[in-house]
């Protein structure tokens, strides 16, 4: 995620906001279509892979992977055909020529495959090679994009560099999957037909809201481009990238925990809440300290991006409702309550998509941010109702502390005009010390939450937190 930020920071320094706007619009369009191409398979298959891997039934896992690839192949072909059909319209409205169209198709194909293969690796919990793959692919993407932009390829260079990430990641994940399954022997208990049917059923319920969500998130950039031009689209995209980056970075725990929760016979609700709380503990201090220093953050990308500070502030407020809804959604999905998953997805994203067309022409980037926030709130409301139905207990007192403690520190620091970097660092450290002192973070929380990580990562992290906590809270 850090390298993802570096990618756009560096490129915003060496090229214009117009180039960023065009590039981000192409990436947004490709992202919508690649999400459609996945058919939700990368999420749906995890429910079955988590159980088969935990029971060491690698033969069954292989069948589920093959069925997932077959399903996704159908989606990829369909999405690419639709993009080609829309080629003339995309050229007329957004100025996307043949070269950019080809790059967008490459992004669609390899992003879909990479997403599926990554989900399989995560389900196996053999995640120790993930950082190596991600870092290598991210660095290669950055280097190639910089070189192409400096040569003078403009938006084509940016998007081609961006495409190199899923290409290289797909190749490396393919090698890793071969290594995971190379010793598999014996006959599977599940047939290809039943695996295909089960994965399809589990995928569709997440696919529909996922398309709406992805469209809702990235449609803002596209609509801003159409209403206000490439430059404003670039500004909005950068603000959105910061917020979605925080969400994606903290959402890693949900991604890893989902197959583990799905394989549990008891304790799902408790673990889902622990993961949700820990995710909030990571994201809230960062998000709500950045709110008061949004201008400084946006200025890192260049003076022309400061106008997007209000957009960033609005988007950051959505962090809490998005995380809470994701936690409840993960639990509902682990139970196979597909209608509830669908309800949360639709409640979050239908209002968001509709409001884009109403608010963006009036308020520009801020209108897109308001639409995004409103969708997060409506999704949270439905999620809380569903949480009560499935018996998941939400500790609102803990949530209030997690949300407001960072503000207690960040607002005074901003009022006295303390340097942004220093203020954010102080807010983070002070907030976590308070959380430890009042018992918001407990040893049981850390054991449950970090237990889904590989032992060589989870155990050292738990040991470090325990040493710090004992100094501030004897009951830890």
pLDDT in tens, 256-292: 777 677 777 777 888 888 888 888 888 888 888 888 8
Portion of the chain with pLDDT greater than 90, in percent:
18
How high is the pLDDT of residue 184?
64
pLDDT digits (tens, 9 = 90+) for 296-313: 888 888 788 888 899 999
**Cα distance between residue 221 and residue 201, in whole Å:** 32
Residue 473 has pLDDT above 70, yes or no: no
Region of 302 (left: φ > 0; alpha: ψ -120 to 50; beta: rest) is left
**Least confident piece of the model among 54-63, 147-156, 318-327:** 54-63
How high is the pLDDT of residue 40?
87
pLDDT digits (tens, 9 = 90+) for 34-86: 999 988 888 888 878 777 777 777 788 888 888 889 999 999 999 999 999 98
How high is the pLDDT of residue 200?
87
- Residue 473, C-beta contacts closer than 8 angstroms, at least 6 positions apart: 436, 437, 438, 439
Q: Does the pTM exceed 0.85? A: no
- Residue 69, C-beta contacts closer than 8 angstroms, at least 6 positions apart: 116
Q: How many degrees, rounded to 5, is the angle at CA 377 between CA 371 and CA 382?
A: 125
How high is the pLDDT of residue 20?
86
Torsion of CA 261, 266, 270, 271, to 10 degrees: -30
pLDDT confidence of 459, banded at 50, 70, 90? low
pLDDT digits (tens, 9 = 90+) for 95-122: 778 888 999 999 999 999 998 888 888 8
How high is the pLDDT of residue 102?
92
How high is the pLDDT of residue 186?
67
**Cα distance between residue 236 and residue 359, in whole Å:** 14
């Amino acid at each position: 995620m850090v390298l993802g930020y570096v990618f756009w920071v560096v490129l915003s320094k060496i090229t214009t906001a117009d180039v960023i706007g065009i590039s981000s619009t192409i990436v947004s369009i490709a992202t919508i279509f690649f999400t459609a191409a996945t058919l939700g398979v990368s999420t749906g298959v995890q429910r079955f892979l988590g159980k088969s891997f935990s029971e060491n039934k690698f033969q069954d896992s292989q069948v589920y992977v093959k069925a997932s690839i077959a399903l996704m192949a159908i989606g990829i072909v369909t999405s690419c055909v639709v993009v080609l059909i829309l080629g003339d319209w995309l050229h007329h409205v957004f100025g996307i020529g043949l070269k950019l169209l080809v790059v967008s198709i490459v992004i669609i194909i390899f992003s879909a495959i990479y997403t599926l293969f990554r989900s399989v690796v995560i389900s196996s919990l053999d995640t120790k090679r993930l950082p190596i793959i991600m870092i290598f692919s991210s660095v290669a993407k950055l280097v190639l994009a910089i070189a192409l932009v400096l040569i003078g390829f403009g938006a084509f260079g940016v998007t081609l560099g961006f495409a190199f990430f899923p290409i290289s990641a797909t190749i490396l994940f393919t090698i890793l999957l071969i290594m995971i399954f190379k010793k598999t022997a014996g006959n599977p208990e599940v047939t290809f037909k039943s695996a295909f049917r089960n994965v399809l059923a589990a995928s569709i319920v997440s696919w529909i809201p996922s398309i709406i969500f992805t469209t809702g998130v990235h449609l803002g950039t596209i609509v801003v481009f159409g209403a206000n031009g490439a430059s404003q689209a670039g500004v909005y995209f950068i603000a959105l990238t910061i917020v979605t980056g925080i969400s994606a970075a903290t959402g890693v725990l949900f991604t890893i925990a989902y197959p583990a929760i799905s394989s549990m016979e008891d304790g799902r609700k408790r673990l889902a809440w622990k993961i949700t709380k820990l995710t909030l503990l990571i994201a809230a201090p960062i998000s709500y300290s950045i709110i008061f220093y949004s201008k400084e953050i946006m200025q890192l990308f260049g003076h022309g991006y400061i106008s997007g500070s209000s957009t960033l502030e609005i988007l950051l407020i959505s962090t809490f409702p998005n995380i809470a809804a994701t936690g409840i959604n993960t639990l509902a999905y682990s139970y196979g309550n597909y209608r509830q998953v669908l309800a949360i997805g639709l409640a979050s994203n239908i209002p968001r998509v509709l409001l884009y067309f109403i608010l963006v022409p009036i308020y520009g980037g801020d209108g897109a941010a308001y639409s995004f926030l409103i969708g997060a709130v409506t999704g949270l409301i439905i999620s809380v109702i569903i949480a009560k139905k499935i018996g998941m207990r939400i500790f609102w007192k803990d949530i209030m502390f997690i949300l407001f403690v960072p503000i207690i520190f960040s607002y005074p620091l901003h009022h006295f005009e303390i340097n942004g970097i220093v203020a954010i660092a102080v807010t983070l450290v002070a907030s976590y010390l308070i959380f430890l002192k009042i018992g918001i973070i407990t040893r049981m929380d850390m054991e449950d939450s970090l237990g889904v990580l590989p032992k060589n990562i989870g155990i050292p992290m738990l040991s470090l937190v325990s040493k710090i906590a004992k100094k501030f809270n004897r009951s830890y």
